[in-house]
């Protein structure tokens, strides 16, 4: 297999710029850069790393599918955009028939390790005795809340308990809310300054607290994870994957 050629969608954003630096430092070929308003030309690319918006991601997936059919081999789309609606998630799935889609709310190795630990903890700590709260903090420019990573963490905790997050999620509390319902998973959101990403999950009983936390110090950690995911995807059949697949969890 020839050396992979990378393209970046959302190239002018902070993540796009970080990905370009890591690719260049590693000696990879950066064949194309796209941003809002650009036409996608993927004829010279094998892997597209896409930190844009759900709307742009869906359009890019359509272009990737057409390019895969034209060349007769899959193309890899690594999706780092967050804030997808259920309808947008549903619209993305058909493209997995011809494209290797890698979609994750976070490409950090540490966060994905944390997800595995949360599933185990929530499966063993009774919902009647242990409350779960997810807290996240990001920079002032982030437009969606809770973050994709916070939702991944909440979903992992819910999965460990054998429930669907949408049935137990409490996104905000304000005013006279009444007593907490057993089994709920609460979310708190902070937006300010240049915070790269802070996430914590609190398990609270009457007598003790357990906290899982992760702090992102530099965006290059997400860039490295996204690149690793793209390289892994080159050896896969078309389908919809995530970082748990990439890391073998």
Length of the chain: 249
Query: Which residues belong to the active site?
Result: 138, 142
Please list the residues that pair with 186 across neighbouring strands. Answer: 133, 170
Under DSSP, the state recorded for 204 is: E
Closest CA to 100 of 70, 67, 74: 74
Structure-token match 């930190």, residue found: 51
**Cα–Cα distance, 139 to 142 (Å, whole number):** 6
The Cα-based distances of 170 to 177, 187, 201, 206 in angstroms read: 11, 6, 14, 20
List own/partner pairs for 27-36 with CB under 8 A and 24 or more apart: 28/3, 28/4, 28/227, 29/3, 29/4, 29/5, 30/5, 30/6, 31/5, 31/6, 31/7, 32/7, 32/8, 33/7, 33/8, 34/7, 34/8, 34/9, 34/10, 34/60, 35/9, 35/10, 35/11, 36/12
What letters, b where the CB count within 10 A reaches 16 and e where it falls short, cover 190-221? Answer: eeeeebebbbbbbbbeeeeeeebebebeebeb
């Amino acid at each position: 297999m020839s050396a992979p050629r990378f393209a970046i969608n959302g190239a002018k954003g902070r993540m796009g710029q970080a990905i370009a630096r890591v690719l260049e430092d590693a000696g990879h070929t950066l064949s194309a850069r796209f941003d809002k308003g650009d036409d996608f030309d993927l004829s010279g690319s094998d892997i597209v790393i896409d930190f844009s918006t759900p709307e742009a991601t869906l359009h890019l997936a359509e272009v990737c599918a057409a390019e895969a059919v034209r060349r007769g081999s899959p193309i890899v789309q690594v999706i780092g955009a967050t804030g997808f609606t259920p309808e947008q998630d549903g619209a993305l799935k058909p493209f997995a028939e011809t494209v290797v889609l890698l979609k994750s709310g976070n490409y950090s190795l540490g966060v994905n390790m944390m997800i595995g630990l949360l599933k185990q903890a929530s499966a063993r700590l009774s919902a009647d005795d242990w409350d779960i709260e997810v807290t996240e903090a990001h920079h002032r420019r982030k437009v969606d809340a809770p973050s994709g990573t916070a939702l991944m963490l909440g979903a992992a905790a819910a999965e460990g308990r054998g429930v669907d997050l949408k049935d137990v999620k409490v996104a905000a509390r304000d005013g006279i809310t009444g007593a907490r319902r057993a089994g709920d998973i609460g979310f708190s959101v902070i937006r300010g300054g240049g915070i790269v990403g802070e996430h914590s999950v609190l398990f609270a009983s009457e007598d003790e607290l357990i906290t899982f936390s992760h702090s992102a110090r530099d965006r290059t950690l997400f860039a490295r994870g996204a690149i690793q995911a793209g390289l892994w995807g080159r050896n896969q059949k078309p389908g919809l994957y995530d970082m748990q697949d990439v890391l073998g969890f």
